[in-house]
A and B are shown apart, each in its own frame.
Chain A
Amino acid sequence: MERKESKNLEKLLLDDSFVHWIKYGNDPSWEKWANENPKHQQTVLKAQQVVSAFQLKEDFPTAEKIDLLKNNIDDNIILHGGTNPVNWGVWTKWAAAIALIVSCFAVLYNVSKIHGPEVGQAYKLIEKSTHNGQKLTTNLPDGSKVMLNTNSKMSYEFPFNGNERIIHLEGEAFFEVTRDTLRPFRVISSGITTTALGTSFNINSKHEKGVDVSLLTGKVSVQNLSGESVILYPGNKVVAIDNDLVHTEQFDYNQELGWKDGVLIFRDVSFPEIVDKLEDWYGIKVDSRLKLKDNIHYSGNYKNETLEEVLQGISFIYHFEYTIHADESRVEIYN
């Protein structure tokens, strides 16, 4: 303490612990020193003046900007392939019991709805759907954003019921959910319920094999009809086939989410699958008289490219000719 006493203020300001104490307090040894001598208290007062003079103009980003940057970072992380493993529900039995109760309530709720909505509350069923070659971005009443892929349909009741936000989906959609911890956001698709609080994810029930749920940011739980559930972390994907939840740890960003950025993607697909996809994506009818010698599988990415450009790319592999009848939205493919 002797050493400290001899210091004048300028020297004290060169001491880390002194400056820290002046700024934030909570340092018994300096407090003891200050109380030893009224002169020290004078010094402390001056030091406080100096340090508080260094209150600077701050340039902080907005809360929206902070979240936006965080989303970008989480996306980058996924693209770099670094995420946590899926936490499988080891509590499956308990979850099943809880789910059973939940679904009972759901039934009751539906029954009471048939008899008419609550007094003073008029519910309206809102439906949105897309056709071949058509995508739709829409906002929900809670501020969440939905991007509906081609040939898909979703519906919800407006306004949302007080405790949860329920969306029914057939087909494929990407959701950016506004955070609301008091009202879980649930998407029901072919018996699979995906629950989120505030997050972005993709659900695909377009193909016959089952329902895919891919999580981009945040956290969701995916539950089947038997009440088994799995928690997804960013980058995780779960495929529900016949009520079984099969998970892939890391999904392929372009394959699952490329559609929302305008990336048409083929991964190891047969020719009939290519035709289906082209019809779906461009809203056209494909008439193929192509005779294939062997069953070649094709892979390729097309970002924001025209039908012509895509056909050209594929025709190199399968050696076909094509004619586009734009007025009829029809394409002919032949040898």
Chain B
Amino acid sequence: MKTSDGSLWEGLRQGEKSAFDQIYYLYVKLLFNYGKRYTANDELIEDCIQNLFTDLWVKRKKLGKTNNIKAYLLLSIKRRILRQIGIQQKKLMVHLHVDFVFEFSVEDKMIQEANHVEKVKQLNRTLTKLTPKQKEVIYLKFYEDLSYKEIAEIMNVEIKAIYKITARALNFLKENFTMLVFYWLLS
């Protein structure tokens, strides 16, 4: 995956439209999905995606090398979305506060028992108690499978702090999920 990322990116830098198209179709869903963690405003996310990809092509000659297109795009879309939300909130004279919101899926394979819906609800209630940073690390690590180094870049935090945030989040989940899927962590 990483090697093809490198050649795809190189193709884009060389001006291959097909490489650009491929990158778009590979990552657009993921970027939209990530954007939804910051805002429920679909239009704002779509605008950011359009501008991101337009710039990606127009400014392709200025792009550096990368071996992880996903991490690059996630960071880029995050910056754009937060900037837009910032502008919106400034207009409304609201202090900048952006939460990171996600939910476990009810269709989760592993909780398919009679009372699984109730369990997912409990999981989701517990999630809301995590700090936005803890939620974001959990999301980028266990859902997007980024490396801790890449997560540190996206979140603009030292890598040591990322480890700490992750450990604390896992610990919190362990303590609050005693009856749930995290029961094993106690054993």
Residues of A within 8 A of B (CB): 9-10, 13-14, 16, 19-20, 23-24, 46, 49-61, 65-66, 69-70, 72-73, 76-77, 80, 82-84, 233-234
Report Cα–Cα, A46/B187, bound state, in Å: 11
Please, how many angstroms separate the alpha-carbon atoms of A282 and B123 in the complex?
A: 64
Taking a contact as CB atoms under 8 Å apart, the answer to whether A57 and B104 are in contact is yes
CA distance A73 to B174 in the complex (A): 44
Expressed in whole angstroms, the minimum distance between the Cβ of B139 and any Cβ of chain A is 7
- List B48-93 residues whose CB lies under 8 Å from chain A: 49-50, 53-54, 57-58, 60
Q: Please tell me if the beta carbons of A55 and B53 are within 8 angstroms of each other in the complex.
A: no
What chain A residues lie within 8 Å of B133 (beta carbons)?
none
A54-B142 contact, Cβ under 8 Å, with A13-B166, A76-B54: yes
Asked if residues B171 and A55 are in contact (CB atoms below 8 Å), the reply is: no
**How far is A143 from B115 in the complex, measured between Cα atoms in Å?**
46
Report the Cα distance A70→B56, complex, angstroms. 13
Q: A77: which B residues are within 8 A, CB to CB?
A: 54, 57-58
CB of B46 within 8 Å of the partner chain: yes
Q: Which residues of the partner chain A approach B33 to less than 8 Å between Cβ atoms? A: 58-60
Contact of A73 among B29, B54, B108, B166 (CB under 8 A): B54
Q: List the B side residues contacting A58 at CB < 8 Å.
A: 33, 105
CA distance A24 to B53 in the complex (A): 28
Closest A-B pairs by Cβ, 7 of them? A54-B142, A59-B36, A76-B54, A16-B147, A57-B105, A57-B103, A60-B29
Contacts of B163 in A (CB 8 A): 14
B29 touches A55 (CB 8 A): no
A243 CB to nearest B CB, Å: 29
Q: CB-CB < 8 A to B184: which residues of A?
A: 9, 46, 49-50
Query: Which one of B53, B145, B170 lies within 8 Å of A10 (CB-CB)?
Result: B170
A-B contact pairs, 19 of them (CB 8 A): A14-B166, A46-B184, A46-B185, A50-B181, A50-B184, A56-B102, A56-B143, A57-B102, A57-B104, A59-B36, A66-B29, A70-B24, A73-B24, A73-B54, A76-B54, A77-B58, A80-B54, A82-B57, A82-B60
Least distance between A235 CB and chain B CB atoms (Å): 10
What does DSSP make chain B's interface, helix, strand, loop or mixed?
helix
User: B174 — nearest CB in chain A belongs to which residue?
Assistant: A10
Let me know if B154 is at the binding interface, CB within 8 A. no
> Contacts A56-B139, A69-B46 hold; do A10 and B24 have CB atoms under 8 A apart?
no
- Closest chain B residue to A24 by CB distance? B145
B residues apposed to A, CB below 8 Å: 15, 17, 21, 24-25, 28-29, 32-33, 36, 42, 46, 49-50, 53-54, 57-58, 60, 102-111, 123, 138-139, 141-143, 145, 147-149, 163, 166-167, 170-171, 174, 181-182, 184-185
Residue of B nearest to A60 (CB): B29
Report whether A23 and B145 are in contact in the complex, using a CB–CB cutoff of 8 Å: yes
B182→A50 contact, CB < 8 A: yes
Which single residue of chain A is at the shortest CB-CB distance from B104?
A: A56
Give the chain A neighbours of B149 by CB distance below 8 A: 16
The interface residues of chain A lying within 8 Å CB-to-CB of B139 are: 56
From B54, B108, B171, contact of A53 by CB (8 A): B108
A57 to B143: give the CA distance in the assembly, Å: 10
Chain A nearest Cβ from B62, distance in angstroms? 12
- Distance, CA A65 to CA B171, complexed state (A): 40
Name the one of A19, A46, A60, A65 contacting B145, with C-beta atoms under 8 angstroms: A19
| Cβ contact within 8 Å between B58 and A14 | no
Given contacts A59-B33, A61-B29, A77-B54, contact A51 B49 (CB under 8 A): no
Contact B17 A233 (CB under 8 A): yes
Q: Which of A24, A49, A61 gathers the greatest number of chain B CB atoms within 10 Å? A: A61
User: In the complex the two chains form, what is the Cα distance from A76 to B107 in whole Å?
Assistant: 39
Q: Is the CB of B50 within 8 A of A56?
A: no
Question: Is the CB–CB distance between A49 and B54 below 8 Å?
Answer: no
- A55 and B17 form a contact (CB under 8 A): no
Cβ-closest chain A residue relative to B180 = A53
The interface residues of chain A lying within 8 Å CB-to-CB of B123 are 53
Which residues of chain B have C-beta atoms less than 8 A from A46's C-beta?
184-185
Q: How distant is the Cα of A200 from the Cα of B120 in the complex, in angstroms?
A: 46
- The CA of A13 and the CA of B25, in the complex, are separated in Å by 30
Q: Which residues of A contact B46 (CB under 8 A)?
A: 61, 65, 69
Contact between chains at A55 and B145 (CB < 8 Å)? no
How distant is the Cα of A49 from the Cα of B109 in the complex, in angstroms? 10
Q: Are A10 and B15 in contact (CB under 8 A)?
A: no
Docked complex Cα distance between A61 and B29 (Å) = 6
**Closest residue of A by beta carbon distance from B162:** A14
Inter-subunit contact A69/B50 (CB<8 Å): yes
* Bound Cα distance from A19 to B141, whole angstroms: 8
